[in-house]
Amino acid sequence: MPESAEEIHARVVAAVGEDGRLPMPSMGEWDVFPWEVVDGAIAPKRLARPAPEKPRQGEGGEGCHACAGFSGVIWENERWVVTHPRERGGLPLLLFLQPKEHLDLTDLDDAMAAEYGRLQVWLHRIMGNLPHIARVHVDKWGDGAEHLHTWYDGLHVVAA
Ligand SMILES: [Zn+2]
């Protein structure tokens, strides 16, 4: 069950005080994070020279974290799995949809692509009808890992 906005606020204040300022998430140290502090102010990073792409985690299925096993499974069938990545949290709810087989988006055949589309709509509909969820964002980047993983971020609604 997703937390309400009030529950999350109370948890943050209990953890970091009335200032309510959370520590910078680890993504602030990622190479692709576009901002940096310059002379005490936030500024866009300088545009880097073009360079070859770095290999993604699990390229060609070698050492793929997803293929090694899924954790936080909340639903699955023979081809797909939905997980709740507890280590990432999500405010108030974050879910991943992944094929069980090592596939990227463009590897899906027509049957898998059709099922992927239906599952996306179902997940969006289910999450959007949970308490404290106003909207659902669907994200597919694939920059970090080759194994297809689509993010479903439930966003808050605050009671009037
Ligand atoms: Zn994989």
The tally of domains found in the chain comes to 1
CA of 26 to the centre of ligand 1 (A): 23
Kindly state whether residue 134 falls inside one of the protein's structural domains: yes
Kindly state whether residue 130 falls inside one of the protein's structural domains: yes
CA of 63 to the centre of ligand 1 (A): 8
CA of 66 to the centre of ligand 1 (A): 5
Kindly state whether residue 84 falls inside one of the protein's structural domains: yes
CA dihedral of 116, 121, 127, 129, whole degrees rounded to 10: -160
Q: Residue 70 sits in a domain of what CATH number?
A: 3.30.428.10
CA of 147 to the centre of ligand 1 (A): 5
Q: Are 155 and 2 in contact (CB under 8 A)?
A: no
CA of 148 to the centre of ligand 1 (A): 8
92-147 pLDDT, tens per residue?
789 999 999 999 999 999 999 999 999 999 999 999 999 888 889 999 998 889 99
Of 72, 119, 79, 118, the C-alpha closest to 100 is 79
Sign of the torsion angle spanned by Cα atoms 114, 93, 72, 86: positive
Kindly state whether residue 90 falls inside one of the protein's structural domains: yes
CA of 129 to the centre of ligand 1 (A): 31
Distance CA(81)–CA(18), nearest Å, equals 39
Alpha-carbon distances, residue 160 vs 5, 132, 157 (angstroms): 11, 12, 9
Kindly state whether residue 85 falls inside one of the protein's structural domains: yes
Kindly state whether residue 2 falls inside one of the protein's structural domains: no
Instruction: Look at residue 78 and tell me whether its pLDDT is greater than 90.
Output: yes
Which structural domain, as residue segments, surrounds residue 101? Answer: 63-156
Kindly state whether residue 111 falls inside one of the protein's structural domains: yes
Kindly state whether residue 31 falls inside one of the protein's structural domains: no
